[in-house]
Amino acid sequence: MTGIYLAGAFIISGLLFFNRNKTYNYLLVIGFLLLQIGFTIYEYLHLHTTELNYFTADALAILLLVTLTIISIPAMYHSYVYLETKQDNPKHRAIYFAAMVALLTSISAAYLSNHIAVTWIFVELTTLSASALIYHRRNNRSLEGTWKYVFVCAISITLIFIGILFLSFTLQQAGTDDLSFAVLIKKAPQLNLFWLRLAFIFIFTGFTAKLGLVPMYTAGIDAKDKAPSPAGAILSSVLMNMGFVGIFRIYTVMANSPLHLWTNHVILIAAILSIFVATVYMTKVKNIKRMFAYSSIEHMGIVMLGLVAGGVGYYAAILHIIFHAFIKSSLFFQMGQVYRIYKSKSIYDVGNYFKYNLTGAIVMLLGFFSATAMPPSGLFISEFLIFRSLFEASYLWVLIVVMLLLTVIIWAFGKNVFKLLFSPAVDFKEDNIEKINPMESISQFILLGLVVYLGLNPPQEFVTLIHEAIKNLPH
Amino acid sequence: MANVLLIIFTISLLYLGIAHRLFTYIKILAFQGVLLFGIAFIELIQINIANLTFVLLETIVFKAIAIPYFLNYVIKRNRITRDAEPYLPNFISLIIITLIIITTFVLSNAIADERISKIYFVVALSTLFTGLYIIVTRHKIITHVMGYLVIENGVFILSLAVGNEMPMLVNLGIMLDIFASVFLLGIFVNRIGDVLKDVDVDQLKNLKD
């Protein structure tokens, strides 16, 4: 089914690109969504089977694939709404949908691949399709954002490739040729330590461009800002999950080798620096979308801290990743409505949102509570578990510093969101405001509600899958 | 013989540091493509014939002919001025690149592995760092692309070091080359020259907080 899925999705993408008829486009998009849902159900029923020699549906892949499918449905719906309210340019619409389909397919394939080189190929494909999405508005600033994104991601991809080469050097002592993750985990105690260190540093640095950590997070910020809101939602939720999958799989290899402690220290430095950078910029930033992008960086830092701490932190890290994807994408979907009302993303131009769009304002308020990990949001549970795991692993100073930084972040986030919601807008002409149908906010309520449900009362299969996903890590 | 070609490759890096004109950069890149063709031909003799032909074809067609032609076209079409516009004087660049080569040579002595030839490691790492240096110290946007191509050449040399045991990695490296360079150059040819009148990196400073 993986072969059918990949072939079908790329054919749909090609047809979308060449065919400029509006109804045909929408029919193809619905066809792709059905294919995606069918594929996810098939993979869920066929846990742990390997297809085409390179794609294994292990537990982590299934969890993130289901997350992607759940998010892709409102993403396509909001893209339809977004394109309807703009001028009708058939060529740009066709490219947008073709790139969306290609992006979602590449991310799904990257989740499923069990060989590091195949993951690398699909990560490369996501760079190409994401840049087409970022360039959609085709003005100077989008071009600059696209160029920076392509360039930084190209350098990161090259770094990952160098890491793969070094990884192949490590294998020569262990007497095998196979770079698939299963073999690497099995042979981890016998790998050459010098090359393994170098390989991990290069692969980790390369994947931080996708995940959004220090040092390569910069391109992602401009990308999420300049892309249209539905595309920005995909870039800041499921694309970051793909970066997590890459780092998680190589971390599993390192955790089974003698270099576990050293790896933890490297990731700890990157995670703390990321949270620090996110704090500094969130207090400074005046553009709401950029603020959301920096908030993603902070959450990824927290997830990595969970991985480093170990124990219950492994479980909490995966929980955090899934919840964050739902919450951040719903915030970005809502941002699309904010932009349609105020025609601006700056906090200086917005205000009194309750008056202009009541359902949207409620979503924004609930989204703020969810994103800053206040109960009953599921993020509260995962962050609490990560803090507990840091305490149990005796990283006390790290915990104190991170909690202080998070307090500053909550203050900065709240300051901006409350300005949007409660303060009156300055110099805002109320004559021609677009009326937003409250039905458009339903998807965001569903996503936020899902986070609360999964946090408070997770179904047993969900919990089992997460425990399956972390079984290779040393407990 | 492969060692001689690798040493000539390293010397071309030094020439890259002191070149003034953009067209010289393009000629050096084409020359490096031809050298890589020679090295691949000598070293990869053990992999099967179809794979070998593919690798050789890629180095000659892509690195030595297509990409230099594309770069020429971009420079002429966007009427980019001939000078490379470095931030530092060329003499300082020469010293820094020499220091890079010496440092990688000293670093490579820390490697205690007999199966990987040291000279590959030295040349690959020096090329990588020289490419990064070129990206960082030049004004123009087109030199960013050229620095990236130099990095790609370095990665190719590194993949040749294990090319006999794992030919798949060499293929992957080529795919990286094709995808990324075509895409980067594609954006460049189509858009940046039209939109940004003055192809200077100072133009790319609008997106900030």
Q: What is the DSSP string of A21-57?
A: -HHHHHHHHHHHHHHHHHHHHHHHHTTT-EETTTEE-
Terminal Cα distance for chain A, rounded: 34
Could you tell me which residues come within 8 angstroms of residue A39 by beta carbon, excluding any fewer than 6 positions away?
A1, A2, A5, A108
State the Cα angle at B59 between B106 and A155, rounded to 5°: 55
DSSP for A303-336 reads HHHHHHH-THHHHHHHHHHHHHHHHHHHHHHHHH
3-state secondary structure of A180: strand
- Chain A residues whose CB is inside 8 A of the B176 CB are 124, 157-158, 161
pLDDT tens for chain A, residues 1 to 475: 889 999 999 999 999 988 888 888 899 999 999 999 999 999 999 888 888 888 989 899 999 999 999 999 999 999 999 988 877 788 888 999 999 999 999 999 999 999 998 999 999 999 989 998 998 888 888 888 888 898 899 999 999 999 998 888 888 777 777 788 888 888 888 888 888 998 999 999 999 999 999 889 998 999 999 999 999 999 999 999 999 999 999 999 999 999 999 999 999 999 999 999 999 999 999 999 999 999 999 999 999 999 999 889 999 999 999 999 999 999 999 999 999 888 888 888 888 888 888 999 999 999 999 999 998 899 999 999 999 999 999 999 999 999 999 999 999 999 999 999 998 888 888 777 888 888 889 999 999 999 999 999 999 999 999 999 998 888 7
Question: Chain B: residue nearest A117 by CA?
Answer: B172
Residues of B in contact with A284 (CB under 8 A): 209
Closest CA to A153 of A93, A217, A196, A102: A217
Report the alpha-carbon distance of residue A143 to residue B45 in Å, rounded: 44
Q: Is the dihedral of CA A164, A168, A170, A175 positive or negative?
A: positive
Q: State the ipTM, two decimals.
A: 0.90
Which residues are CB-contacts of A431 (< 8 A; sequence separation ≥ 6)?
Answer: none
* A chain contacts of residue B112, beta-carbon cutoff 8 Å: 194
The answer to whether A446 faces chain B, any CB pair under 8 Å, is no
Report the C-alpha gap between A355 and A362 in whole angstroms.
Answer: 11
Q: Give the bridge partners for B138, in sequence order.
A: B86
pLDDT at B181: 77
Q: What SS3 string covers A374-423?
A: CCCCHHHHHHHHHHHHHHHCCCHHHHHHHHHHHHHHHHHHHHHHHHHHCC
- Can you say whether the dihedral through the CA atoms of A285, A287, A288, A290 is positive or negative? negative
- B15 vs A397: CA distance, rounded Å: 51
SS3 assignment for chain B: CHHHHHHHHHHHHHHHHHCCEHHHHHHHHHHHHHHHHHHHHHHCCCCCHHHHHHHHHHHHHHHHHHHHHHHHHHHHHCCCCCECCECCCHHHHHHHHHHHHHHHHHHHCCCCCCCCCHHHHHHHHHHHHHHHHHHHCECEHHHHHHHHHHHHHHHHHHHHHCCCCCHHHHHHHHHHHHHHHHHHHHHHHHHHHHHCCCCEHHHHCCCCC
pLDDT at B197: 60
Q: Which two tokens stand for residue A447?
A: 């996503």
Q: Mean pLDDT score of chain A, rounded to an integer?
A: 91
* Residues of chain A contacting B204 with CB distance shorter than 8 Å: 144, 147-148
Using only the alpha carbons of chain B, give its radius of gyration.
17
Token pair listed for B180: 């990324």
CB contact under 8 A, B209 and A192: no
Residue B203, classified by CB atoms within 10 Å of its CB into exposed (0-12), middle (13-18) or buried (19+), is middle
Q: Do B113 and A147 touch (CB under 8 A)?
A: no
Per-residue pLDDT at B195: 62
Q: Which pLDDT score, from 0 to 100, does residue A1 have?
A: 86
Residues of A in Cβ contact (< 8 Å) with B180: 124, 154, 157-158
DSSP characters over A111-170: HHB-BHHHHHHHHHHHHHHHHHHHGGG-SHHHHHHHHHHHHHHHHHHHHHHHHHHHHHHH
To the nearest whole Å, the CA of A218 is away from the closest chain B CA by 10
Side chain identity, residue A422: F
Cis peptide before A215 (omega within 30 of 0): yes
Q: Return the pLDDT at B112.
A: 60
Q: Smallest Cβ distance to B144: which of A151, A157, A290?
A: A151
Quote the pLDDT of residue A320: 95
Other C-beta atoms within 10 Å of A146: how many? Answer: 26
Q: What is the pLDDT of residue B113?
A: 67
- Angstrom distance (rounded) from CA A290 to CA A232: 11
What is the pLDDT, as a whole number, of residue B51?
81
Instruction: Compute how many other C-beta atoms are within 10 angstroms of the C-beta atom of residue A303.
Output: 29
Q: Which residues of A touch B192 (CB under 8 A)?
A: 143, 147
Q: What confidence score (pLDDT) does residue A432 get?
A: 79
How much is the pLDDT for A194? 85
Global confidence as pTM: 0.92
Q: Convert the pLDDT of each residue in A252-273 to its tens digit.
A: 999 999 999 999 999 999 999 9
Residue spans of chain B under pLDDT 50: none
Distance (Å, whole) CA A262 – CA A254: 9
pLDDT value of residue B47: 72
Give pLDDT, residue A435.
Answer: 85
With an 8 Å Cβ cutoff, are A158 and B176 in contact?
yes
Distance of alpha carbon A112 from alpha carbon A125, whole angstroms: 15
Tell me which residue of A121, A118, A102 sits closest to A52, measured CA to CA: A118
Residues of A in contact with B115 (CB under 8 A): 172
Q: How close does chain B come to A394, measured CA to CA in Å?
A: 35
Residue with tokens 């906010």: A441
Radius of gyration of chain A (CA): 21
Per residue in A453-469, pLDDT tens? Answer: 999 999 999 999 999 99
Q: How far is CA B58 from the centre of its chain?
A: 15
Residues from chain A contacting residue B166 (CB–CB below 8 Å): 168, 177
- In this prediction, residue A234 carries a pLDDT of 94
Structure tokens belonging to residue A444: 């965001």
Residues of B with CB under 8 A from a CB of A: 111-113, 115-116, 128, 141, 144, 148, 151-152, 155, 158-159, 161-162, 165-166, 168-169, 172-173, 175-176, 179-180, 183-184, 187, 191-192, 195-196, 203-204, 206-207, 209
Among partner residues A144, A177, A286, which is closest to B206 by beta-carbon distance?
Answer: A144
Find the CB nearest B172 among A161, A172, A222. A161
Contacts of A347 (CB under 8 A, 6+ apart): A286, A287, A288, A416, A419, A420
Q: Do A63 and A469 form a contact (C-beta atoms < 8 A)?
A: yes
A410-413 CB contacts, 8 Å cutoff, 24+ apart = A410/A372, A411/A283, A412/A279, A412/A282, A412/A283, A412/A291, A413/A282, A413/A291, A413/A295, A413/A368, A413/A371, A413/A372
What pLDDT does residue A434 have? 82
Bridge partners for A190 per DSSP = none
Instruction: For residue B151, give the nearest of A140, A143, A158 by CB distance.
Output: A158
CB contact under 8 A, A169 and B144: no
Q: What is the pLDDT of residue B178?
A: 81
Please tell me which residue of chain B has the smallest CA distance to A142: B207
- pLDDT, tens digit, for every residue of A127-175? 989 998 998 888 888 888 888 898 899 999 999 999 998 888 888 777 7
Nearest to A143 among B115, B176, B191 (CB): B191
Compare CB distances from A162 to B144, B155, B209 and report the shortest one's residue. B155
